[in-house]
Amino acid sequence: MSDAASTESYVSSPSSSSSQPADQPDPPRVDATGADATTTSPGAMPSPSPPPRTIDDVAREDAAWRLSAAARPHVRADDAVEGAALRALLSDYETCVRCEAVAGAARWRACDAARAAITAEETDDEETGFRVAAVMDALDAPHLRPTGMRARLEKGVDATCHGVVTLLSNLSSMKRHN
């Protein structure tokens, strides 16, 4: 018996005098290298991990997505709905604390003026939504749609906070709707 096989069987075999209760799951099995062996039979090679994605893979996937998106009819978002969604997002204390923690205090504080302008009572949601659409178009960034960002934040996708900061950083440079 090889050293690896004997180590695996020693580590992975429950002892006959186990004091572990019957209703508790067995501890994870590991092989001689410390790798998880619970999904492989003793002596079997673990399945290889998928190859790493390259920038070429990402570019191909992006091109395929853009081709499929171009085939669908373009429906412009309702500016008032998106403006109201951004206002609600920025009016939520927990969201702001979370985004400050994720994006960093310096980046978040750099957006103070934009956040104050959007959450002000006199701000028109339709105007804000129009400017949001202009940022999305200028940056080719449909993921910056406030309704989508709100949904992703609710699902626990913290990286969305970087999109919130990007959107806020670019809103002031967009022309007002006439």
> pLDDT per residue over 131-160, tens digit each?
999 999 899 898 999 999 999 999 999 999
pLDDT digits (tens, 9 = 90+) for 100-132: 999 999 999 999 999 999 998 778 999 999 999
Write down the pLDDT at residue 25: 62
Band (174; pLDDT cuts 50, 70, 90): confident
Letter for the amino acid at 119? Answer: T
Question: Mapping DSSP to helix (H, G, I), strand (E, B) and coil, where does residue 27 land?
Answer: coil
Which two tokens mark 68?
């499929």
Question: Mapping DSSP to helix (H, G, I), strand (E, B) and coil, where does residue 36 land?
Answer: strand
List the helix and strand counts (H, then E) for the chain.
9, 0
Which two tokens mark 139?
């940056």
Higher pLDDT, 129 or 20: 129
The candidate with the shortest Cα–Cα distance to 4, out of 25, 27, 32, is: 32
Question: What is the Cα–Cα distance from 62 to 85, expressed in whole angstroms?
Answer: 27
Letter for the amino acid at 102? Answer: V
Chain centre distance of CA 143: 11
Higher pLDDT, 177 or 55: 55
Write down the pLDDT at residue 6: 43
Beta bridge pairs of residue 36: 30
Question: What is the Cα–Cα distance from 76 to 143, expressed in whole angstroms?
Answer: 14
